[in-house]
Structure 1
Amino acid sequence: MAKSPKTPRPRAQTPKGFRDYFGTEVTTRAEMLRKIAGVYHRYGFDALESAAVETVEALGKFLPDVDRPNEGVFAWEDNAEGWVALRYDLTAPLARVYAQHRNDLPLPYRRYAMGPVWRNEKPGPGRFRQFYQCDADTVGAASVAADAEICAMLADTLEVVGIPRGDYIVRINNRKVLNGVLEVMGVDDSQRDAVLRTIDKFDKVGESGVRELLGKGRLDASGAYIDGVGLSEEQAAPVLAFLTSRGDTAEQTLANLRTAIGGSAVGAEGVTELGKIADLLAAQGYGPDRIVIDPSVVRGLGYYTGPVYEAELTFEIHDEKGRKRQFGSVAGGGRYDDLVKRFTGQAVPATGVSIGVDRLLAALHAKGRLDGEAQGPVVVTVMDRDRMADYQQMVAELRNNGIRAEVYLGNPKNFGNQLKYADKRGSPVAVIEGGDEKARGVVQIKDLILGAKLAEDATLEEWKDRPSQFEVPRDKLVAKVQEILSGQ
C-alpha cells in the first residue's frame, strides 16, 4: 500500500506587505498613542473604537475601484452581509457610526480613534499593507472654528510627541479656492481631472513642471515624454498664480489668492474662510512659525469640500542612498461635508485630521528622539529549583513595588546561561540567592549595566571604583534594587 504524501510544513513568513512588531516597537508606539490621546482628550474629544470590518457599501465611492470591491481593500463575500472589507481608513467608519447612532450622539460629535487600517495596495520600501492611523474629527460643526481648532490641536500634538517648534509646519489651504481657480480657467469636464492631477504634482515638479504639464507636456526624470493638458498660457495662468500665491504674511497670501480667483464667488468664499481661520489661530497664539496658509497644499481632490491641512516635518534626513531630503508629511485632513450625507440624505458638516503613526515614529527615530532599546526586567536567578517559592516571593515583592521583574524559568542547571538570558533581555539587574546566601539571610544583587560598561573598558575613571555586585540583607532587596535602578 502506497504511503500517503506528507503534508508540507507551512512556511514561517509574514505575507508580503505585512510585518511583525516586537517589544520596544510595540511599547514605543503605545506610548506615542497615549500622548496623542492625551492632547485629543484635553481638547474635548471622546474616544471611539469602531469595527475593523465594514460593508463595502459603507466604504462606498471612496474605494480606489468601486466596480471591483476587492481592489484597494481586503474584501470578501459574506453570506449574510454581501461584500465586507477591512477598514481602509478611520473616516469612512466614522460616517457610518454617526449615521447609525446620530440620535444618541451629541451634535457636534467630537471623536478620536486610533488603530490599524488595511490597504490592498502594492507594498514597497517603508510602505506596508497594515499601518496605524490616529484620527480626530468633529461632525456637525459648519463653522471654520472647528477647522482652526483641528490645526491648533495638530500643532500641539506634534510638540507633545517630541517634534519641537521649528521642525514642523502645519499648512492650510481651501478646496473652494481651487474650485474658484478652475472656474476662472473655464476648462471643460474632459480637462478638469487632468488639471487636478497636474496640480497634485506641484510638490514634485515645481512651478515650471506644472506650467509644462498644463501646456504641451514635459520630459520626466527618466527621459520619457509626458503629454500635457493642452491649455494655453492664458488658461494656465490662474493655476500658476494660485499655486505660487503664498506671501510673507497671511494677509499678503490672501490678497494674492483674491487676485488668482478673479470674480469667482465660490473662490471668494474660500478665501474668506481662510482669513477667518488665520484670525482664530492668531488669537490663540499660533503664529506662522507653526501654522501657515499655503495654496500649494492639495489633498484628496475628490474628497474634501473646504479647508484642507497638512503637517510637514521640515528637518532633513538621509535616504537609503545617503542623499539629504526633508522628511515630509506625517498628517493631513480637512473638511468633508458630503460623507455622512451618503447614509442620511442630509448634508452633515464634518472636519478632521489623520496622523500617520508609523511615519511619525520613523521621523522620531531618524532624529534620534526615541530610545533604541527598552530596559528589560530585573531577573531573579534560580540556584535551587526546589526553592522556586522563595524566588517567586522575591519577584512578587519587586513587582508590588512597581519594579518590572521575572523569575528565570528555563533550565537552571547552567548559571552562565541565566546571565546570558538576562543580557539578551536587556535586564538592568540580576538577583542571586544560593544555599549559602539563604542560610546567612542575604542576597547578591548584580548591576548588569555597570558590569557591561566595566567589561567594555575597565579603565574608565567614572566606573572603575564602583562595585558592580552587592550583598545585602534579604529584607533590603527591594530598596537596593530601587537604588541601583535610579542610579542607572
Structure 2
Amino acid sequence: MSTETPIRPETRPEARNPRGFADRRGPDLVAERRLVARVSEVYERWGFEPLETGAFEYADALGKFLPDADRPNEGVFALQDDDDQWMALRYDLTAPLARFAAQSWETLPKPFRRYAFGPVWRNEKPGPGRFREFVQCDADTVGSDRPEADAEIIAMAGEGLRAAGLDAGQAVIKVSNRKLFDGLFEAGGVEDAGQKLTALRAIDKFERLGWGGVAALLGEGRLDESGDYTKGAGLPPAVIATVEAFLASAGTQGLTRAETLDAVARAGGLGETGERALNELAAVDAALNVMGVGQDAARFDPTIVRGLEYYTGVVFEADLLLETTDDKGRAVRFGSIGGGGRYDDLVARFTGERLPATGFSFGVSRLASALKAAGRGAGGGVRGPVVVIVFSDADMRHYLDAVSELRNAGIAAELYLGRAGMKAQMKYADRRGAPAAVILGGDEIAAGQVTVKDLDAGRALAAGVTDNEAWKSERPGQRVVARSELVATVQTIVAGPRTAS
C-alpha cells in the first residue's frame, strides 16, 4: 500500500510554458543545428574564428539600444546581482562582442574576425513567428573601416544562405547606408537624436506600411488597425517631402546597384554626409562585382535602415523570396531572415575611442521556420533511430546484443524499453521516424535469423495500397536474413532515400 500523500488538485501547478518561449522537439532542433553547422562552416572558410560569450551581460554594457524606458529591463530580461548591479540576458550577439573587444583588444589580432551562435532573449510582445527566445548566428569584423569589409560580409552572407539550403533567387540581400538619412536630416535642419531615431524606425516599416503609414509616423503619429496610437517623429513637412522623393528615387525594379546610386544622387538633398554615403556604397558595389556577387543576389535599397540604434553606416538585410505557406496552405511572408551593418561607435562606449566594425546575423530560428513552411524543413531529412523490438525478458540479452552491434557500426539504434506489445512497438517505431525495426522473436533466435522491417519502404508502398488483405499478404519492406547480416541489411536501408511519413 502506498504511503505517499497525493497532491491535491488545488496545489498542482498548471503545466504551461511562458508566452514567447517555445518547446521544440527533434526535427525542429536538428533543422536549426544543421543550419548553424552549415553556416558556421562558411564563416570558418572565410577566416572567422569562433567565440562564445556568456548569456548574461551587465545591463549598462548591453546599452539602451532596444526601446527606451525608465526601468532597466525594458526590452530585455534583467535581474540584480548580489552586488546590486543589473544583469540582463543578451538581446543579440553584437553587444557582447563589443564588450569583449574592448576588454581584450590588446591581445587580439587586428582586425579581429569572429563568428558566434546561440540563443538571445528579448522582452517584447510575442506573436506568430515572433519569439522572446531565438537563435542567431553572427559573423563580424572588428577593426576595419574599409568598405571591402562590408562587401565581404555581404558576399559571405549570401554564401551562408546558399549553404542553409536556399537556391538562387530565393533570397536577396538589400543594402543601404544610414548616412544617407543623416545627410537628409542635416540638410533639413533636424538635429534632435530622438527625433531622428523615431524617423529611422518609421522608415524601417516602409515595406509593411507603405508610404502612407510611414508619412504618418514621420509626422504627428499613426493610429493602427487595433486602435493603438504611435507617436510620430514630428518632422517638418518639407523634410517629409524630401524623404518621400528619396525613397521613390530608387523604387524602380530591375535597376543595377550602380543605377540605383545614380537615381538616389539625382534626387538630391543628401548634403555632404549623404554624398560620402554614396561613395561608400559605390566602393561596396565595386568589391561585390569583383567577388562575383550578382545584381539579383545583393541590391541597393534606400528603404533599408535597420531598427537598432547602434548602426552608423552601411546596413543590409536578407529578405526571403521563397514561397511559404502555413499549416492550412495559406501564403505566409517571412520577410527578413537576417541582417546587419556597420557599427563604428559601439566599442567606443567602453574605450572612448572609435573602433570600426561590421557584421551580419542570421535569424536561425526564423530561417528554419521559413524553410519548414516552404516544405524544406528537416522533417523529410531527419530520421529517428532503428528500433529493436522486445518480446520476452528471457531473450533480453539477444536484443541488447543486437542494439549494441548496430550502434558500434555507427547506426543510431534504440532498444524499446516500454512494456507494450508488438503492435504498439511498431507504432512507436513509426512515430519515431525509424527507418527500420529489428524483430528477434523466438523463431528467429532459434534459426539464427533476424527479421528486418524496412519502415521507409512500407510507408512508400502503403501510400499506394487500397486493399488491406493484399497489404497483409505482401508484407512490404520486410525481409528475413541471417543474424550475421543484420548490420549490412540495416545499413542498406539507412543509406537509401527516406520516405516522409
How much does 1:366 deviate? 1.9
Q: Would you say the 8 A contact 1:148–1:277 is kept in 2?
A: yes
Match of 1:107 in 2: 110
Query: SS of the residue aligned with 1:395?
Result: helix
Q: How far apart are the structure 1 equivalents of 2:414 and 2:230? A: 63
Match of 1:51 in 2: 54
Match of 2:390 in 1: 382
Match of 2:282 in 1: 275
How much does 1:445 deviate? 1.6
Match of 1:201 in 2: 205
1:216-268, CA deviations, whole angstroms, 9 ceiling, x for partnerless residues? 77776579998876666543332123212225222222223333454722111
Q: Would you say the 8 A contact 1:146–1:351 is kept in 2?
A: yes
Say whether 1:405 aligns with 2:413.
yes
Of residues 86, 100, 103, the one that matches 1:97 is 100
Query: SS of the residue aligned with 2:358?
Result: strand
Say whether 1:22 aligns with 2:25.
yes
Cα 1:322–1:240, aligned 2, differ >3 Å: closer, same or farther?
farther
Q: Higher mean Cα deviation, 205-214 or 360-369?
A: 205-214
Q: Higher mean Cα deviation, 135-144 or 122-131?
A: 122-131
Cα 1:337–1:475, aligned 2, differ >3 Å: closer, same or farther?
same
Of residues 53, 62, 76, the one that matches 2:79 is 76
Match of 2:144 in 1: 141
Match of 1:370 in 2: 377
The residue type paired with residue 419 of structure 1 is: M
Match of 1:477 in 2: 486
Q: Would you say the 8 A contact 2:141–2:358 is kept in 1?
A: yes
How much does 1:441 deviate? 1.4
Of residues 10, 31, 42, the one that matches 2:45 is 42
Match of 1:153 in 2: 156
Match of 2:248 in 1: 244
Q: Higher mean Cα deviation, 304-313 or 436-445?
A: 436-445
Q: Would you say the 8 A contact 1:261–1:268 is kept in 2?
A: no
Q: How far apart are the structure 2 equivalents of 1:284 and 1:151? A: 10
TM-score of the aligned structures, taking structure 2 as reference length: 0.88
Cα 1:218–1:127, aligned 2, differ >3 Å: closer, same or farther?
closer
How much does 1:67 deviate? 3.3
How much does 1:70 deviate? 2.1
1:122-142, CA deviations, whole angstroms, 9 ceiling, x for partnerless residues? 222222211111111111111
Query: SS of the residue aligned with 1:369?
Result: coil
How much does 1:319 deviate? 6.5
The residue type paired with residue 45 of structure 2 is: R
Of residues 370, 388, 401, the one that matches 1:393 is 401
Query: SS of the residue aligned with 1:446?
Result: strand
Cα 1:105–1:382, aligned 2, differ >3 Å: closer, same or farther?
same
Cα 1:473–1:352, aligned 2, differ >3 Å: closer, same or farther?
same
How much does 1:485 deviate? 3.1
Q: Any gaps of 5 or more consecutive residues in structure 1? A: none
How much does 1:78 deviate? 0.9
Q: Would you say the 8 A contact 1:71–1:120 is kept in 2?
A: yes
Q: How far apart are the structure 2 equivalents of 1:327 and 1:132? A: 16
Of residues 256, 273, 282, the one that matches 1:266 is 273
Q: Would you say the 8 A contact 1:18–1:129 is kept in 2?
A: yes
Q: Higher mean Cα deviation, 270-279 or 388-397?
A: 388-397
Percent identity between the aligned chains?
A: 51
Match of 1:442 in 2: 449
Q: Would you say the 8 A contact 2:387–2:415 is kept in 1?
A: yes
Query: SS of the residue aligned with 1:80?
Result: coil
How much does 1:456 deviate? 5.0
TM-score of the aligned structures, taking structure 1 as reference length: 0.90
Q: Would you say the 8 A contact 1:196–1:301 is kept in 2?
A: no
Match of 2:495 in 1: 486
The residue type paired with residue 74 of structure 1 is: F
Q: Would you say the 8 A contact 2:180–2:270 is kept in 1?
A: no
Say whether 1:468 aligns with 2:481.
no
Q: Higher mean Cα deviation, 212-221 or 309-318?
A: 212-221
Structure 2 matches for 1:181-196, cutoff 5 A? 181-189=184-192, 192-196=196-200
Q: Would you say the 8 A contact 1:431–1:443 is kept in 2?
A: yes
The residue type paired with residue 400 of structure 2 is: Q
Q: How far apart are the structure 1 equivalents of 2:135 and 2:147? A: 28
Of residues 355, 365, 388, the one that matches 1:358 is 365
The residue type paired with residue 207 of structure 2 is: D
Say whether 1:432 aligns with 2:435.
no
The residue type paired with residue 419 of structure 2 is: N
Query: SS of the residue aligned with 2:87?
Result: strand
Q: Higher mean Cα deviation, 165-174 or 243-252?
A: 243-252
The residue type paired with residue 350 of structure 2 is: F
How much does 1:300 deviate? 3.0
Q: How far apart are the structure 1 equivalents of 2:471 and 2:292? A: 46
How much does 1:405 deviate? 0.9
Q: Would you say the 8 A contact 1:335–1:349 is kept in 2?
A: yes
Q: How far apart are the structure 2 equivalents of 1:443 and 1:225? A: 70
Q: Would you say the 8 A contact 1:332–1:353 is kept in 2?
A: yes
